[in-house]
Structure 1
Amino acid sequence: MTESRGAPRRRRPLTVAAVPVRRPTLVSLRHKQRSQPPGRRSTRRQRAAYKIKKWARWKGWAKIPVTVGVLSLLATLYFTSQTLVATQRQSGATENQVRIAEQGQYTDRFGKAVEQLGQPGAEKVDVRLGGIYALQHLVRNTSDYQPTVIKLLTAFIRTHAPAEQSCPRDKGSKLPEDIQAALSVVAQRDPQWDGPGRLDLTHTCLTGARLFHANLRGADLSYAVLFHADLNGAELSDSTVFHSDLREASVDYTRLFGVDLHSTDVRGVDLSKVVGLK
């Protein structure tokens, strides 16, 4: 029997597939509570606890000790460098102060030695000797004073031992003690610190002078009296001995390169062992 066209159709019942519902577990609830920040209605304590937990889970905590160590090392290096710079500056200032103090001491010593050298009279010979040796010690400490000291001592020799008629010319004569001391200081100097100019020993009375291995290279000995002087092994190259008196002088192995003896009185002098004489 067929249904009539006007009769309503029957609808088939819909079938709904059962979908399993996942119930929240305690672990998931705790994780949700950890991951989600507290809402506006949460208490201040809950928000503080959440911030603490968040900071505690931060992965950068493991790098903090390394970062702190690097920063500490950089800070140490910086302060060490600043300390070294300050120390160097202080050391430089100290050196300058020491140098200034030394210059002041040298000036005082030079002035005192000059004062001693100018003491007249035979009874003051020991004072003059002290001044001469003080000048020698000063030159050994600082070469800056050598040109001045050498000029001072040569002037002292020319003034106190002039080649006058009273200059002795006998074998038994010797130089005064202070003149010999001044001449020895001049002869034992280091010529490289002499400065410009020549040794001026012109018109000097140097009878019986002890100039063994003396360095008088380039000296001007014109009109000087060197009677019976000991010049063995002395350096007299390029010196001027114009009208000088060298009678009876000892000149074994004396260096006379570039020296003209034509106007020099060399009577009684054995020139056979002289070095450099043409």
Structure 2
Amino acid sequence: MGNRLQWAALAASSLPGIAALAALLFTWVSVEQSGDQLRIAERGQVTGRFNAAIGNLSSSAVDVRLGGIYGLERLMRDSPHDQPTVVTLLTAYVREHTHGQVDSSADARPATDVQAAITVLANRDPARDGSGDFDLRNVRLRNLGYMGMWDRALQRVIGINFPEADFSAADLSSADLEHAHLAGAVMAGTSLREAALNGAELADAVLTDADLARSHLVRADLRRIQAAGAHFDDTYLTRAALEDAHLQRASLVGASLPGAILRGADLRQADLRDADSPERT
């Protein structure tokens, strides 16, 4: 009888602790469920925003299409893991709206929505691209405007970021690409005539047969570029870094080369008539 009373007393004294543990467990489960529900709700909002932006892109009104483009930009910033999808979508949009278009006007510029899409792509964080498809082959972006941002804190210009993008056969004539990050970009056969590329990063870029006549590449990083057969006629290459550049059969007639570094560059059969003051040491 005494043992039973002791067990009963022990059980009674343990009840508050058991109840507290049960309450704690219930609270933890409730918090987890609330967190899951919140994540599901947030994901639903992202999906809704994405679908709304996609719908706007198909509108016949340019202002609605612009709303869709900027909606995708906000989505890309708010949901970084969706950036590869947005990058793929916007590059496809640019290709679709520029491929095969020809305008004989010397001052023709990309359509407003195309310029906006390129600007959004240019100002993204490339580190979040993941497996995004950055294919801009055969685009027509003649007279493309400058799309860099001014970093007031660092007092410098941040250029556009298109590392390893494919601009093969694109028309980038007169494009303002100063300080652009184009390392490893493919621009085989691309027209960059009279383009502004001062301070641009083009290391390891493929420029085979590209036309850079009368372009400005002052202090540009052109190390290890593949530029066989490219045209640099009357191009400004002052203080450009051209170490180990592949310039076989390239035309540099009348090129301005004061302070340019050509150490290790392959200039076999290159045409350097009237070019001035390259540095090969």
Q: TM-score, normalised by structure 1?
A: 0.68
**Matching of residues 147-226 of structure 1 within 5 Å:** 147-166=84-103, 168=105, 170=106, 172-196=107-131, 198-209=133-144, 210-212=146-148, 213-226=159-172
Alpha carbons 2:123, 2:147 under 8 Å: kept: no
Following the alignment from structure 1 to structure 2, what is the Cα–Cα distance between the partners of residues 108 and 203? 32
Q: Which amino acid aligns with 1:263?
A: D
Following the alignment from structure 2 to structure 1, what is the Cα–Cα distance between the partners of residues 110 and 95? 13
In structure 2, the residue matched to 1:51 is none
In structure 1, the residue matched to 2:192 is 246
**Matching of residues 256-267 of structure 1 within 5 Å:** 256-267=202-213
In structure 1, the residue matched to 2:41 is 101
Following the alignment from structure 2 to structure 1, what is the Cα–Cα distance between the partners of residues 116 and 132? 22
Alpha carbons 1:153, 1:186 under 8 Å: kept: yes
In structure 1, the residue matched to 2:177 is 231
**TM superposition shift of 1:208:** 1.9
1:130 is the counterpart of 2:76: no
Following the alignment from structure 1 to structure 2, what is the Cα–Cα distance between the partners of residues 148 and 198? 8
In structure 1, the residue matched to 2:260 is none
**TM superposition shift of 1:188:** 1.6
Following the alignment from structure 2 to structure 1, what is the Cα–Cα distance between the partners of residues 24 and 94? 54
Which stretches of structure 1, 4 residues or more, deviate above 3 A after TM superposition? Answer: 74-78
1:80 is the counterpart of 2:26: no
> Helix, strand or coil: the match of 1:84?
helix
CA 1:237–1:140 in 2, change beyond 3 Å: closer, same or farther? same
**TM superposition shift of 1:76:** 4.1
Following the alignment from structure 1 to structure 2, what is the Cα–Cα distance between the partners of residues 164 and 92? 54
Q: Which has the larger radius of gyration?
A: 1
Alpha carbons 1:247, 1:266 under 8 Å: kept: yes
Following the alignment from structure 2 to structure 1, what is the Cα–Cα distance between the partners of residues 73 and 34? 28
> Helix, strand or coil: the match of 1:218?
coil
Same amino acid, percent of matched pairs: 35
**TM superposition shift of 1:85:** 1.3
The runs of 5 or more residues in structure 2 that have no matched partner are 1-8, 149-158, 224-241, 243-281
Q: Residues 114-136 of structure 1: CA distance to partner in whole angstroms, max 9, x if unpaired?
A: 1100113xxx0100000001111
**TM superposition shift of 1:152:** 1.1
**TM superposition shift of 1:109:** 1.2
> Helix, strand or coil: the match of 2:136?
coil
CA 1:167–1:103 in 2, change beyond 3 Å: closer, same or farther? farther
**TM superposition shift of 1:176:** 1.7
**More divergent stretch after superposition (268-277 vs 152-161):** 268-277
**TM superposition shift of 1:80:** 2.6
In structure 1, the residue matched to 2:249 is none
Following the alignment from structure 1 to structure 2, what is the Cα–Cα distance between the partners of residues 276 and 91? 55
Q: TM-score, normalised by structure 2?
A: 0.67
Alpha carbons 1:250, 1:269 under 8 Å: kept: yes
> Helix, strand or coil: the match of 1:138?
helix
Q: Which amino acid aligns with 1:264?
A: A
**TM superposition shift of 1:158:** 0.8
In structure 2, the residue matched to 1:270 is 216
The runs of 5 or more residues in structure 1 that have no matched partner are 1-67
**TM superposition shift of 1:185:** 1.1
> Helix, strand or coil: the match of 2:24?
helix
Following the alignment from structure 1 to structure 2, what is the Cα–Cα distance between the partners of residues 244 and 276? 16
Following the alignment from structure 1 to structure 2, what is the Cα–Cα distance between the partners of residues 272 and 112? 44
> Helix, strand or coil: the match of 1:249?
coil
Q: Which amino acid aligns with 2:147?
A: L
**TM superposition shift of 1:87:** 0.8
Following the alignment from structure 2 to structure 1, what is the Cα–Cα distance between the partners of residues 119 and 59? 20
Q: Residues 185-227 of structure 1: CA distance to partner in whole angstroms, max 9, x if unpaired?
A: 1112222322225411111111222233110000000011111
